[in-house]
Structures are given as C-alpha cells and as structure tokens.
Chain A
Amino acid sequence: MTRFFKYLIRISSFLGKELTEIFRQPKLILTLVLGPFLIMLLFGVAYPDQGRTLKTTFVATDPVSFQKEMDAFAQSYNSIIFDYSIAGDKEKALVNLALNQTDLVIVVPDVSFESIENNQQAEFLVYHNEVDPFQVGYIQSIARIYVDEVNRQVLKSATAQGQIDSGALQNDLKTAIIKTQTLRQSIPAGDVKTAAQAADLEKDLTGLDQKLTTFRSLTPGVLVSPFTAKVFGLFGDPFTVTIFFVPAVLALLLQHVSITFASLSIVRESHSGIMELFKVAPITAFEALVGKYLSYLFFEIILAGIITALAVWVLKIPILGNLLDYALAVFALLFTSLGVGFLISLISETDTQAVQYSMLLLLASIFFSGFFMDLRLMREPVTVLAWSLPATYGIRMLQDIMLRGSPVPVFVFLGIMAIGIMLFLVDWVLLRKRMESQYS
C-alpha cells in the first residue's frame, strides 16, 4: 500500500470517529439544528418592528380640558403615545412611576398665551424610571418628538386661527382696493402725479390681497412644517429588525457551535490517555488535526445548510447574493472558528476550562463583533479585538451577501482565511508538542 494511501486512511480514522460520535447523539443534533432555528423564530416573534409602547401618565392642572385636547390631537400623537392616562396629582403619578405601574410621567405646563407673549417658553417635565442608557435615549427622543409635535399642533392651530382671522382682513382689503379704484377714477386727468400714487397704492393693495389669498389657501400643516424628509436605501425598502439580525445570529451560532465542538475534542483525548497511544502509533499530529478539521467541517456545513434552508423557507429570510458566495463565507467562518476551538482545546487543562474559554469568547463576540453595536461606534484600538473574532468577519460577510446582495467582500474573506490558516498552523505545532512530549 502506498504511503499516500496510508496517509489518507489515517486521516479518515478521525473523520469517521468524530462523525460517528456526533451522529450517535441524535438529541445533540436536534438541538443544534432546531436550537438556532427556534432562536431565530423566537427572535422574530419577540421583537415587533416598532418602538416600545410607553405607558404614559400626563399630569395636567385641568385634566378634563387636557383630555379634550388629547382627543382632538389623538391622530397626531398616536404614533408616539399609544397608551396614556391623565391625572391631576403629580406626586401620585410619580409614586406609580416608581412602582413601575407607568413608564413615563409627563407634567404638562400650565400654558397661557400671556407667558408666550411675554417671550417665555413653557416646559414639559418628563419623568422616567429607567437605568438602561438605551431606554433613556429612547425616552429622550420620544419626549423630543412629543414636544415637537405639541409645538407643531400649537402652531398649526394658531395658523388656522390666523387664516380665519385674515378672512375679515382680506374683506377690508378688498373694500380698500375698490375705494382706491374709485379714488383713482375721481382724480382729474391732468393730475398725473396723484394718479400714479393712487395706481401704486392700488397695486400694493392688490398684491397684499393676493398674498393673503395664498396664505389662506395653504393648509396650516404645510405652513408650519414646510419641509419633510424621505429616506431611501440603496438596497430597497429597509429590512425588519428580525431580518437584519438573522445573518448576525447565524454567524454567532455557527462560530459558537464550531468552537464548542473543537474545544472539547482534544482536551478530552488528552485526559483519556489515548494521546499515549497516538504517540506510539504511526499517526502524526498533522493527520489527526486534518482528520478532525474535516469531520467537524463536514458536519457543520450540513448543519449550516439545514439552518439556512429553514431560515430562508420558513422564516422568509432573503439571500439576495450568490449562494456560492454564501457557502464560501460560511466555510471561512467555520474553518477559522474550528481553529479557535482547537486552540482552546490545546491550551485548556480540563473540560470545564475549555467550556469557560468558549463562553468567554461567545460573550466577547456578542459585544465586539458588531452583533448589536455598530463597529463604527467603537474606539479605534478596540477594533483590533473585534477583528480578531471570526464572528466579526462572519457577520460582515453574511450581512453583505444576504441583505445587500453583494459578492463576498474580498478583504474580509482574505482576513478571516488568513487568521484561519494561522490558527491551523499554531494548532498543528501545539498538538505535535502535546503528542510528542506529553510526559517527556
């Protein structure tokens, strides 16, 4: 038998062994297939594509008239305040807020035109019971939008009133124009100067009348907010939160599964004593490692395929890009994640230590891979840590391919493959060391 053939047989020993061990655990496979799918499904169900409904208590000195005002403007406020009540007692409302019976307390100022006419701003006091900076930010923007809307409503009603009031003014103006015309006709023919002055006056009054007509013809909403904004993405309509997060969830899960499998693989063998047999047998560290890589890659590619198929067909998650690019990105992510896992396995003394390292890596990936915090918000030096995690590359590649329809980003792909190859070499050296001199 040729040496090459024997080499292939030795590699195949681990391929067969690892796969048999995995397939011997149907519950594990079921968890690995259904787990990620159910997580994605639950994620989609759990987070509706709209902001949080804030249960709001308005405190007004005259609740009855404020209720009328709210009813009148309900249409406008509906997009901001969904669930509100009106109270007259501020202290009681704050106690309820402290007891989490309401999310927000807005103390409505006692507005009088006098105070505005006196060049004074009226202040809405907004109270919340949040410690989460993201929620505080959300409440601050809601408060800002609410006050902007109140200001807009005030201006709108003032403008509408102005348009009504300007009706009488325009009537007076029309009378004045007629009177000016009558006056101009009564000017003697030789009095050119007076006639010209009367014509100018008539022209001014007519112009003013036209402007008033225009003012009255415009809707108060346009007058108060003449500009609006429309946002267009280069890739069509924006995705829902669920769709946006699915590529990232997929990348994170595939990384975690790979790392967990690989991290337990060698550490267990070191403890079982079989390393002693490997050392004496004709198998090399390279053959063992290649066999392990191949077996886990084979299994995880199938796993990724099933999860992707479920995501696409059941959850209707799009893959706008090329499937080959997608497969390439998944392969690179799995290959590099396995490298990380084997490294953990080779530096860990016990199973527990390996699991702890894997969990730490998962935590680091959640915070630093751009999973939920944009990498552009990160301070520059920390991005080095971010780009040392396979998940960072995985998320970027899968988002680009699935959501933008782009080809696999070349530099990102080369980056993750470079890390993967480097890890393979490091793992090889460490495994060789372990197999050769475990007790020497």
Chain B
Amino acid sequence: MKNNDFAGNVVETQDLTKTFGEDVAVQSLNMQVPRGTIFGFVGPSGCGKTTTVRLLTGFYKPTSGSLSVLGKNPTSFLKSDREKIGYLIQQFVLYPQLTVWENLNFAASFYGVGVFRRRHLNKLLDFVELAGDKHKLARDLSGGMKRRLSLAATLVHKPELLFLDEPTAGIDPILRRKFWDYFKELQAEGHSLFITTQYVGEAAFCDLVGVMYGGRLLMIETPDGLRRKAYGGDLIGIRTNEELRHEHRQQLENLPFVRGKVKIVSDQEIEVIVEDASTAVSLLLEWCQTQQLTVAMLEKKSPSFDDVFIRLIEMEIKND
C-alpha cells in the first residue's frame, strides 16, 4: 500500500450537492470517513450512492459544497493523488477478449505499476482466488469471477483508499460473504474502504454506515447505532414458561428503562425496547422473579438490517 502522507479523515464533505438540470442527485451531504475504516454507503437503487462515489473520485464536479479526499479536492487531483485511489465500477468494464492475466497486466500498466510486478499480480490472483483461471478469457468468466477480477484490477497499484461501487451486486450470497472477507483482509492491511451497497444486511460488516435515501444522507452510525436509532434503543426478547398477561405488559411498559410499547410475539413471548441492553437484562430478570415468572429465554435481539432500514426510511418519510 502507498505510504500514508495524510493522517486525517480520508473523506470529508460539507454540504456536497450535485444536480443534473432540475434533478437533485445528491443534496447537502456532510460526512467524514476516518482512515482505516470500512465505510458502508447503504441505500436503495437510485438514491445517489454512485453519484456520491463519482463525486468523491473526481469523475463529477460538485454543483456546490466542498469535499476533500485524502486531503485534496478530487477535481484537482494530480497523477500522484490518483495513484492512491482504487475504484471499482459497478459494471464489468475490462476487456472480454483479454485473459484474466492480460486484463490485470493492462490495469497495472495504466496505473503505472513497474515492470517487475509478476509476483504481486500472482499474489492478487491468489487473493481473489483466480490463480487457476488466469489464462481464461474474461468473456468466459462467470459474473462472480468477473467481479473478483475487477476487484483485483482495483487493487493492482496498492491504493490507500478504495471506492467500491456495489461490489456485491448480482452475485450469490456465498460469494458476497467471501467478498466481505476480502474487504476485512484489506482493512487489516491498512486500506480504507468506501463501499456502496443496496444489500442493507451488508451494513453489519461495516465499521460505519451511511444511510442514503432520495439523494440525502439520513445518518452515519455504527451498525449497532443504526439499530438503536431505528428502534429507539436495544431490543430484548423474553420468553417465559407461564402465560404473559395484559397486566404484565402494562407493568413492563411502566418500567423507567423500557421505551415504548411491548410487542407480543406469542402468549409466552414478548419483545421490549430498552435504553441500554447491558444494564436492562439484569433488571428484567429481577422483574420476572418479582412477578414469579420462570424465564425460559431472555436475550438481546439483533433485528435484521432489512427491518432496521425499512424502519429508518419509514421514520424519515413520517418526519417529512
């Protein structure tokens, strides 16, 4: 990886806006991406994720606002700045007539990687598990293999900061998981990763998640923080051997650390939202004892990010 000569946030934007005629693609985006993190940029298709990446890579000029990537404005990047950036485009843009090796070699050349690069390229192919397919023509690769080749081509010049635009789009869940393993490895090597995805479940693998909707960045949070924001606290599930009656639920709702209404899952199971799960678990156990309820299960629940995301969007629509 290139030497880090910039120690601050790898990405910073302030009121970053991009419009195309009357259409506002990205509106007043404010964010900071700390060095060495995996930053997930989550949102539905067409919400402005790719536009943001294009702004950050210098492909688009912003309509207004300011931005800094590795301490510089991308529109005035020098060649040396561009060498520190890796960019994985959504679609496969390499050459179908060339083999895996030739494509990788081509990418290495246009990034100006020195001629003694064979070992490095082989290592990359090992990393993306394409070493056995290096003589295959790109046109003969499966969708997943093409994505892996694109990823290897993005890494060929050992960039400091990686922009990966929907790297897992259109590939099977097993390979998607593998990709996230790659990303974790890259993070461990010191790369910073800015990853867009429409699979909201992938937010769980990120250090920080930015939620985009309708061209606006709704929030930046840790994955847990997102859940808390969506539900107003931590979610705890309780199952008892006895039936949970109406007065039990009312009492629970009146406890000071419990937020909102209790959700009934079955006659013997409920879900409650608490301020902080770490302190609430013991208090809830105490409450069960006082109510002479035998606890069969009491644990912090992690709702799926699909549910979290839907809740957040619903909240946003309600606020609007």
What is A's interface to B at a CB cutoff of 8 Å? 1, 5-7, 9-10, 12-14, 16-17, 20-21, 24-25, 272-274, 276-284, 438-440
Contacts and interface: CB of A to CB of B under 8 A. Distances in A.
Given A21-B97, A280-B58, A12 B109 contact: yes
Interface string B102-123: 1001101111111100000000
B318 interface: no
B82 interface: yes
A13 B106 contact: yes
Contact of B98 (A20, A273, A440): A20
Contacts of B59: 276, 279-280, 438-440
A273 B91 contact: yes
B109 A16 contact: yes
B98 A17 contact: yes
Given A281-B82, A282-B80, A438-B59, 6 more contacts: A16-B106, A16-B109, A21-B97, A276-B93, A283-B110, A284-B79
Nearest to B137: A24
A17 B102 contact: yes
16 contacts: A6-B79, A12-B109, A13-B106, A17-B102, A17-B109, A24-B97, A273-B89, A276-B87, A277-B89, A279-B58, A281-B82, A282-B80, A282-B111, A282-B112, A283-B111, A284-B79
A96 B105 CA distance: 70
Nearest to A273: B93
Contacts of B60: 439-440
Interface of B: 54, 57-61, 79-80, 82-83, 85, 87, 89, 91, 93-95, 97-98, 102, 105-106, 108-115
B87 A277 contact: yes
A282 B98 contact: no
Lowest 7 A-B CB distances belong to which pairs?
A: A13-B109, A6-B112, A282-B79, A282-B82, A13-B110, A274-B93, A273-B93
Contacts of B95: 17, 21, 272
A9 B114 contact: yes
A280 B98 contact: no
B109 A9 contact: yes
Contacts of B89: 273, 276-277
Contact of B54 (A16, A283, A439): A439
Contacts of A9: 109, 112-115
A21 B98 contact: yes
A272 B109 contact: no
A16 B105 contact: yes
A24 B98 CA distance: 8
Nearest to A438: B59
Contacts of A5: 114
B83 to A, nearest CB: 5
A24 B79 CA distance: 32
A440 B61 contact: yes
A274 B106 CA distance: 12
Contacts of A281: 82, 87, 110-111
A25 B106 CA distance: 18
B157 to A, nearest CB: 8
B102 A280 contact: no
A13 B102 CA distance: 10
Contacts of A17: 95, 98, 102, 106, 109
Contacts of A14: 110
B93 to A, nearest CB: 4
B18 to A, nearest CB: 10
Contacts of B115: 9
B112 A280 contact: no
A440 B87 CA distance: 18
A13 B156 CA distance: 14
B93 A272 contact: yes
Contacts of B61: 440
A422 B175 CA distance: 51
A12 B106 CA distance: 9
A319 to B, nearest CB: 36
A374 B110 CA distance: 47
A134 to B, nearest CB: 45
A440 B25 CA distance: 13
B83 A282 contact: yes
A272 B93 CA distance: 5
Contacts of B83: 282
A1 B59 CA distance: 27
Contacts of A13: 106, 108-110
Contact of A277 (B80, B93, B112): B93
A9 B113 CA distance: 7
A7 B79 CA distance: 11
Nearest to A25: B97
Contacts of B91: 273
A440 B110 CA distance: 23
- Pick from B60, B98, B108, B109 the residue with the most CB of A within 10 Å: B109
A349 to B, nearest CB: 18
Contacts of A273: 89, 91, 93
A5 B114 CA distance: 8
Nearest to A11: B109
B85 A280 contact: yes
B249 to A, nearest CB: 55
Contacts of A274: 93-94
A1 B2 CA distance: 13
A112 to B, nearest CB: 81
A284 B59 CA distance: 14
A318 B28 CA distance: 73
Nearest to B98: A20
Contacts of B114: 1, 5, 9
A282 B94 CA distance: 17
A13 B82 CA distance: 17
B102 to A, nearest CB: 6
A10 B54 contact: no
A118 B85 CA distance: 103
B147 to A, nearest CB: 14
B93 A10 contact: no
Contacts of A1: 112, 114
Contact of A280 (B80, B87, B97): B87
Contacts of B111: 10, 281-283
A438 B58 CA distance: 12
B109 A10 contact: yes
A16 B85 CA distance: 24
A276 B83 CA distance: 15
B166 to A, nearest CB: 13
Contacts of B98: 17, 20-21, 24
A378 B58 CA distance: 53
A304 B30 CA distance: 59
A6 B113 CA distance: 7
A245 B112 CA distance: 47
